[in-house]
Amino acid sequence: MTIRMLHLRVVAGTGGGPEKTILNSPRFIRRHGFEAHVVYLCPPNDSVANSLQERALDADCPLTVLPDRGPFDWSILRSLLKICREKKIQLLQTHDYKSNALGLILRRFHRCSMVSMLHGWTDMSGRMPLYKKVDQWCLPRYQSLICVSKDLVEECKRLRIPDSKVHLVHNGIDVDQFERSLSTEQAKKEIDAHDRRFLIGSVGRLSPEKGFVELIRAVHSLQSESIPLDLWIAGDGPQRTELEKLIVELGLQGSVKLLGQLKDTKTFYQAMDLFVLNSIREGLPNVLLEAMALGTPVVATAIAGIPSLVLDGMCGRLIAPQNDAELRNAIRDAIHENDKTAQMASAARMRIEEEFSFAVRMEKIARIYEDLIHGRKGKRQTAYPTKV
């Protein structure tokens, strides 16, 4: 019997890493007997809705986008309740503080099983500390919680949520979609990058927790050692103006580029000589999975779920967060130790195939759904085994 489920997510813009997971989920969960629909709430902006619809179409994902006009727009609840009733939703999965709160209200009017996925609280600026408190109030009231990294499991423990409710399932990636098709040299030609300069790449929201200021300064420092390298960053966000000023201040206009949002990052990853993730807060970032799946060498901070993915010295290099010296040294080593860097990149692809594929991830999640729907407690789902 097919089980009908709904993913509910709220975004202020076109979203980030969680969108790749959510929009890809319906087509992978079908083989396990689930029919999934996705609803996004976002500001009434045609460009945002069109972007989400386009991405959903590419992912073969049934999507409804509803305009979100703020906390006092009660028409959202009526619209959601109508969708739940028309589609006979049996399982609701929420993905953020606001959808968690809406889910608790919806269940008063529509009976269904409730699960929330924790993607992490990375941006703690503005009102986010308040929103996190709302989230922490909502989460214990859900029947089941899926965490993408171990630190989020620990957060649930601090909230005194029973272990039987909490499941650790790392993010995964479609290994067929993210498979290298170009050499680094070919990809550099495609994006018009200099073929004789070492290209460092990064992808993420332009905000302080991503560590882009420190990465730009590290590149400036290494260039003073006569190392020919460029830094290109894909993404957008509130820190863009600050980063643009820093680039001019350091005289890096010819070697550091802010690319903005890229529709397709695959060619960019393949053009990189090194992918660097210098964040101070993350869950288990999809951008790191994508880089590793495409055989791009990686340097990443040892935070949250990242050490469970990147085995230091085997499939990438790990550094301490907010440590400028380690950041420079790791980049320098990647440049000078070519053979070792290439070996780690190959090992990274193999690790993704074996332990972090989207198909494996959704099989684990399907078991969680089934236990919830059928009232089975079963064994608590845990992280993927680590092979050394």
Tell me what pLDDT residue 264 has: 83
Report yes or no: 3 and 34 within 8 Å, Cβ to Cβ.
yes
Q: List pLDDT tens digits, range 367-378.
A: 999 999 988 654
Report yes or no: 274 and 184 within 8 Å, Cβ to Cβ.
no
Tell me what pLDDT residue 7 has: 98
Q: Which CATH fold would you assign to the domain 184-355?
A: Rossmann fold (3.40.50)
| CB count in 10 Å sphere of residue 114 | 19
Q: List pLDDT tens digits, range 281-320.
A: 887 889 999 999 999 999 999 998 899 999 999 999 999 9
pTM (2 d.p.): 0.79
Instruction: Provide CATH 3.40.50.2000 ranges for the chain.
Output: 3-172+357-373, 184-355
Residue 386 reports pLDDT greater than 70: no
What is the dihedral sign for C-alpha 50, 52, 53, 58? positive
Q: Domain spanning 3-172+357-373: which CATH class is it, in words? A: alpha beta
Residue 381 reports pLDDT greater than 60: no
Tell me what pLDDT residue 169 has: 94
Task: Please give the backbone phi and psi of residue 322, each rounded to the nearest 5 degrees, phi first.
Answer: 55, 40
DSSP string, 32-77: GTEEEEEEEEE-S-HHHHHHHHHHHHHTT--EEEEE---TT-THHH
Q: What percent of the chain has pLDDT over 90?
A: 78
Place of tokens 């060498």: 297
Over the chain, what is the mean pLDDT?
91
CA distance 55 to 358: 17
The helix (H) or strand (E) run that includes residue 376 is: none
Tell me what pLDDT residue 130 has: 85
Residue 14 reports pLDDT greater than 80: no
Helices (H), the chain: 17-29, 46-58, 75-86, 97-106, 128-138, 150-158, 184-191, 212-223, 240-249, 266-271, 286-293, 306-309, 324-336, 338-355, 358-373
Confidence class for position 382, pLDDT limits 50, 70, 90: very low
Place of tokens 């807060």: 281
Place of tokens 């951008």: 287
Tell me what pLDDT residue 73 has: 76
Helix or strand or coil: residue 264? coil
Q: List pLDDT tens digits, range 163-187.
A: 999 999 998 999 999 999 999 999 9
Tell me what the mean pLDDT of segment 210-226 comes to: 97
